[in-house]
Amino acid sequence: MMSENTIRDLNILPKSENLETKETPNMVNGRVAEIEYIESEKLDDFEDVDKSLKMLLTGVDTKDWVLLCETLNNVRRFSIYHKEAIKDILERVITLIVKSLKNPRSAVCKTGIMTSADIFKAFGDQIIEFLDPLLLQLLLKSSQDKRFVCEAAEKALIALTTFVSAFLLLPKLQPYLKNRNPRVRAKASMCFSRSVPQLGVEEMKAYGMEKLIEIGVSQLSDQLPESREAARALILELHTAYEKYYFLATCEEEQQYSWEQFCELNLSKLSGQAVLRVTSAGRDS
């Protein structure tokens, strides 16, 4: 069972309870339970790794929400201290996290979100083949109104763009830039913009500078300001990368174009003008 610090008898919490660190009380076996959210650096290692792994496998399919939170925290411990022990069950673990993010209990949901961040940090590119359903849920949770869940999801998305290589992640993010939900588009745009600077010049060329600039243009007129700001940041990053490559390029067989010529050749007149306004403003700021 969970420690006394995690589940304890208490009175109903006042309305001023700090929801960023604790979950509103719930009844467990006739007792009021409170879930505390433990930061990664404060999670202790296991005393018995093999025994804990067996318990983890037992808890993966539990319907007891308190045990589920405990299981998720143990997944976090494994990813921090013994990630090789769960490498072979990574798909099953991510399925568990996705399930927790869909759980109506915000305690389970937030614990699952925190687990996803630790998984990204531990496994990086190894999670890419299992990422799609988890990415969708994180974008949805980061777009909702419950602030302490939303903020946790945003932190998890930052971990995702930090520890998963941009070249693998960008194709996963791209479909969500056209999502019907403007908030999902905005969060996806912000992730996309954060990832692009991690591309090397050759990766940027392989992905397609033309494709990247078209994506930036498409978000410039989006509904939410977060999308538009992410688009401007993306365009400025592409401009810097393009001019650096343009001025340093030595391949005589490749015809070189200025940034203005590149925009004129690859974008419509209106789109090209919009991009040049952004980069011109960036120079002046």
pLDDT, tens only, 243-281: 887 655 545 445 678 899 999 999 999 999 999 999 998
* pLDDT for position 14: 28
- What was the pLDDT predicted at 62? 85
pLDDT at 93: 95
Provide the pLDDT for residue 245. Answer: 75
What's the predicted TM-score (pTM) here? 0.85
Say whether 165-285 and 1-164 share the same fold: yes
**Which ranges of the chain have pLDDT less than 70?**
1-34, 246-255, 284-285
Sign of CA dihedral 96, 102, 108, 112: positive
CATH topology of domain 165-285: Leucine-rich Repeat Variant (1.25.10)
Q: List all residues 6 or more positions away from 66 whose beta carbon is below 8 Å from its beta carbon.
A: 2, 7, 28, 33, 35
**Using CA atoms, how far apart are residues 25 and 219, in angstroms rounded to an integer?**
41
For 1-164, CATH number out of 3.40.47.10, 1.25.10.10, 3.30.1300.10, 3.40.50.170 equals 1.25.10.10
Q: Where are the domains positioned within the chain?
A: 1-164, 165-285
> Which pLDDT tens digit goes with each residue over 11-25?
222 232 333 345 444
